[in-house]
Structure 1
Amino acid sequence: MSPEKPALCAGCGGKISDRYYLLAVDKQWHLRCLKCCECKLALESELTCFAKDGSIYCKEDYYRRFSVQRCARCHLGISASEMVMRARDSVYHLSCFTCTTCNKTLTTGDHFGMKDSLVYCRLHFETLVQGPEYHPQLNFAELAAKGGGLALPYFNGTGTAQKGRPRKRKSPAMGIDIPSYNTGCNENDTDHLDRDQQSYPQTQKTKRMRTSFKHHQLRTMKSYFAINHNPDAKDLKQLAQKTGLTKRVLQQDAHQV
């Protein structure tokens, strides 16, 4: 800031004579003047702020007002960089994808069922659909078809790990469209959460399981295996921590990368 010609604060319009000032959205601000126009939160110590139509917002208020996607559980906005769970046409924060009855967090590999936009763990979904008495002769796949449960993978806010637009496959058991990601499943699949895996009607033949990688996972694997062509268990463990993949997946797909 030139001492001969003090800059003007974009917030109050006054001259900035302070030793320190803020630069946001290509404008200069007094430390005290950069604040959210909605909640008046001071943004001088915040890592990010957002601008829309000349107004400044904190992250929470910006996504609350302008976010395209909203969590079906808490109804708050979802950042495009956030990891989320998708079920049917609903999107959930990872922390919000919990059983409606017991509040258990559902993670990869867990069975779940849905009624409307509400999510249930396997136990409470069976109780909801079949009643308090458990009937072992009615398997979870039949319950899921009856109650509308789906098996879906992890997604991020910008889409799936699959390139291009997924084809739609009609599910006769549930009467809704579900995306097909060209991944195999067992004939007796029940509803569960799994990485890049989709359950299909039981009449479909068993296919070979295929794994889809996100861009950063594939890039990390290529770089690693270019240096180490024959990783041992310790190497695979370190790589698994970096990529978020299992050692089994890394070991199986190492020769294909």
Structure 2
Amino acid sequence: MSVETSVVDSIELINCGGCKKRILEEEVQKDQIVSMFNRLWHKEHIECVYCKLQIPDGRYFRSTVDPLKPSCYACHIQTTHPACVGCSLPVIERGLVAFDRLFHADCFRCAICNKTIPQRKGFYERDLMLYDDVCYMMYIKDAPWTTN
């Protein structure tokens, strides 16, 4: 590491990670500064790298696009969790996998009656559509386009 790089690094450490302006001692004393990702930030300059909204509550996460920039909780979830096939929203806790596709439990529904298919109950799939056992037997099983 050259002397020039070392000087640049130390200057960045005493400058706000958001606005790049110098952190003043009185700002530190007035509790207007936060240490985040090994840098100092003015509280009002902590904004999400994705949605550009200020993150006032301290619930920030290291973004996936720039490890030195924060993301808010909502954008963190949106960018780091897989999406449900049924609603396209992220699956945060538990989901159901059928035919290598991920669903929320509430989005795992019959294509005909739109009722949620219970996890422990059987289901059928045809052309990437899901069916509960009743609808499949009534409408799909013996349909003329079905191959046996």
Short-chain TM bin: 0.5 to 0.7
2:88 to 57, 65, 75: 75
Pairwise CA RMSD of aligned residues?
3.3
CA distance in 1, matches of 2:136, 2:40: 55
**Cα pair 2:59 2:72 within 8 Å, conserved:** no
**Cα pair 1:113 1:119 within 8 Å, conserved:** yes
Partner of residue 221, structure 1: none
Query: What is the deviation of 1:90?
Result: 0.8
Cα 1:77/1:109, change in 2 over 3 Å: closer
Partner of residue 119, structure 2: 108
Cα 1:125/1:32, change in 2 over 3 Å: farther
Partner of residue 211, structure 1: none
CA distance in 1, matches of 2:90, 2:135: 28
**Cα pair 2:59 2:73 within 8 Å, conserved:** no
Cα 1:66/1:126, change in 2 over 3 Å: same
CA distance in 1, matches of 2:127, 2:77: 25
Q: Is structure 2 residue 62 aligned with structure 1 residue 84?
A: no
Partner of residue 39, structure 1: 51
**Pairing of 1:1-257 with structure 2 (within 5 A):** 7-14=14-21, 15=23, 17=27, 18-45=30-57, 47-52=59-64, 53=66, 54-65=68-79, 67=81, 69-79=82-92, 82-130=93-141
- 5+ long unaligned stretches in structure 2: 1-12
Q: Deviations over 1:107-136 (max 9, x none)?
A: 33223222343333223333441369xxxx
Runs of 4+ in 1 over 6 A off after TM superposition: none
CA distance in 2, matches of 1:99, 1:46: 41
CA distance in 2, matches of 1:58, 1:30: 16
- 5+ long unaligned stretches in structure 1: 1-5, 133-145, 148-172, 174-257
Specify the code of the residue in structure 1 equivalent to 2:86: R
Specify the code of the residue in structure 2 equivalent to 1:25: F
CA distance in 2, matches of 1:72, 1:41: 28
TM-score by length of 2: 0.62
Query: What is the deviation of 1:38?
Result: 1.9
Secondary structure at the residue paired with 2:102? strand
Secondary structure at the residue paired with 2:40? strand
CA distance in 2, matches of 1:105, 1:23: 46
CA distance in 2, matches of 1:46, 1:120: 44
**Cα pair 1:43 1:49 within 8 Å, conserved:** no
Query: What is the deviation of 1:10?
Result: 0.9
**Cα pair 1:72 1:117 within 8 Å, conserved:** no
Specify the code of the residue in structure 1 equivalent to 2:71: Y
**Paired residues, what number?**
127
Cα 1:120/1:41, change in 2 over 3 Å: farther
